[in-house]
Amino acid sequence: MSSQNANGGIVITAIDLAADSAEGTECPEAPEATPLAGLTLAVKDNIDVAGVPTTAGSQLLGREAALRTAPVVAALEAAGARVNAKVNLHEFAYGVSSDNPWHGRTPNPRFPDHVPGGSSGGSAAAIAGGVSDIALGTDTAGSIRIPAACTATVGLRPRNGSLDLAGVFPLCPSFDTVGPMAGTVQLVDAAWQAMRAGRSAGRGSVRHGAVSSGEERALPEKVGFFGDPDPRALELLKGLGVEPVALEFPLEEIEDEFWAPFRAEIARTHAATYPRLADDYDPNVAAKMANTQGVQAAEYEERMAALGAIRDRVLVECKMKGVTSVVSPVLGLPVPRATDDEVDYRNLLGLYTIPASALNLASLAIGNFLITGLTEDHVLALGLALEAAGLAPVLPALA
C-alpha cells in the first residue's frame, strides 16, 4: 500500500493507488463531472488517513496506523480525489522552514536553494514539484500561506471553526484550521467547495463568523490594502473595477495580543509530552516549547478578549471604508536560503499572515499576494477574478 520516506524530504508515506484499487479499498466513485475526479491529493502528515500512520512530523508519534480518515480528507475523496501521499512538515506544525530532523529537509522545488516555508512545506512542495494535483495543509499562524508564497503556489486559510477538524493533530485549537493548496485559485476553490459541502452537520460553527451567502461571490467596489502588495495585482484590480483603498492595519497591536494565547494553547496541547520528553523533540521545536510555558488563565482570557475587541474595531473601519477584503504581501522578508537558521527569520517571514489567524478571517495566498476577508467566498471571488484577468501566483523575492 505504501512506502516510507520517498521523494527527497517531501513525501513521508507514498500511497500506491494501483495497489489500493487491487485490494478493493478504492475511494467511492465520484461523478465524472466533478472538478476533482481523478486528481491526486497530498495530505499533510498531521491529518489522519485510515491505514496510514500519522507522525505530525515527530518521532514520538506514528507507531500505529490511523483507524479513520479525517472528515476534511474524506470530503475530497467523496468528490473524486485520491490520496497518493502523506507529506512532510515542520515537527508538530510548529515552525516555518519545514526542516525536519526525522523525515528530512523539505526541498523547495520552485527555488531549490531556499526554504519551502512552513509548517505545510511538504504540502506546498508536493504541488510545486508535481507530486500531487492538490494538497491539504494546516494553518495556525500562516502555515498554509507562508509555504504558498515561498513556492509560488496557492493556498487558502479558511476560518477557524468552518470545518470538522476531527483526525487533525492540534497545535493551537482556537486558531487551527485546514485548507487546500494547489497551483491555481480555480483548483483551490474547487477543493474548498468539496470540503465545505462535506463538513459534518452540527460541527462547523465559525468562531466570530458570518454566514456565507451568494452575494459574497460578487466583486466588491473597493478593497483595502496595507504593506506593499504586488503592483500588477493592484492594477488588475483597478481593471476589474475594484478600487484599492489604503487601510491602517494594527499589525503590531495584533501581534502583541496574539502570541500569549497562541503559546498557552500549545503548552496545553503538549502537556503530556513536554517537558517530560523534551529530549525527543526536534531541538528547534523544543526551544520554542520552552517559551510556551507559564501563561496563566487570567492572561489568556485577557488577551483573547483583546483580540475580539481589535476584531470588532477593524471590522468597523472596514465597513466605514466600504471594504470586505484587504490585500497585502504574505512575506515580511525575502525567502530565506535553506542554510539559514530559522530562529533568525521565523517571526518576520509571515509578517502579514497573523491578522487573519488572530482575528479569525479567511485568507488566500496567491504566491506572495495575500487576500484577507470576512469569508472564504469574499477572498475566493477576488482571487478567481484576478486569475481570470491574468494574475499568476506572485513570485517572492529571494534572499
- CA dist 176 and 157 (Å) reads 10
Catalytic residue among 44, 86, 212, 288: 44
Catalytic residue among 2, 97, 120, 143: 143
Asked if 86 is an active-site residue, the reply is: no
Asked if 132 is an active-site residue, the reply is: no
Asked if 321 is an active-site residue, the reply is: no
Catalytic residue among 97, 119, 132, 325: 119
Classify residue 382 as exposed, middle or buried by CB count within 10 Å of its CB (0-12, 13-18, 19+): buried
Where in the sequence numbering do the catalytic residues fall?
44, 119, 143
